[in-house]
Structure 1
């Protein structure tokens, strides 16, 4: 595993992402989905449409699922790759149905979720969605953060697998309208059910519409090791 960890670390640092298979068994995936499917979806943090079902503050809304998400394999992977100083700061569950026309254009994840809006010269602009505040923090916070995407279905280019531009996380703020396709390459991140993708928030990424009638269910968890200034608090914060 040591050699693999070194390779994963190198890929994350140099290209901005890596993919890893077999973090969850079929039985573990089934147990996770059973809890999700039997959860009351009438809350404010739940969003349901023909194109997308999403649960914001996922681990706060369904705390009993936490021990299933952070199984031994994932905990060891996080510790080996990043150490023990990181904590969860955001969690979302996405379900993209088989007939979904939902797509996401190229973007970087430039905001963090916080519990309320306040004035601070280094933080902004602010947004609010489904009663959740988000703000763009100083770049050094985003550069240290990482995201793990847990795949509960086989995902490929036909059902909205994430597309990324390798090494774009090294270019600070990189506006989609400035992408130079004469030098950039697009990679489609196909991932098997039970696998994970680890990515840096500053990597440019997007996803297409589903065209094969196969759903795509993903748990998106963001991690940080940064303390926020006084008066600004993470909306979600806990050590796994």
Structure 2
């Protein structure tokens, strides 16, 4: 499989290593210093860039008829625009806040727990996410996905980085050291605490999941999620 890497920072380099280990070929390493030349030769593109260029990257993939896996967060206010373009171009697209296999299992656990806890109003929920200091967006896309799942399955209506008001989920975003990513969902009551937590030890889990998604999407058409890739639906 021929892969175009859109974004060649630490994640892009980790994806390259894992893709090569799985027998794939890298035909483009796109960063701020080069062009999209070579994109049309790719079987699939993997975008781990920055919010400012993600939409341009994804758009170029659709016009080049190249399926695209996007792990960039912080641009999702334009997601519907990209989804519409994907459908118009008959493309293939997966955008996820986190491609880690473990995190996607954690997403399922979080959704199931939210459904259970929705019946017990003595508990309040809050979240914490911890990442390295180079991460540009806060809260993380993963934390937002976790919060959205709780909102969809409870009486909560929104999330906030500030002090939570009624029906708001407080997210604490911490930036420190070289932490790949830690996410905690906590339910507190006067008598006890229920907590679920995912801790990434390195970037390999994110990269492996993205490569697996890329392998899966080749030859397909439409908009998918990691639930489709991992058959979690």
Q: Normalising by structure 1, what TM-score?
A: 0.27
RCO comparison, higher one (Cα < 8 Å, 6+)? 1
**Counting helix residues as a fraction of each chain, which structure ranks higher?**
2
Rg bigger for which structure?
2
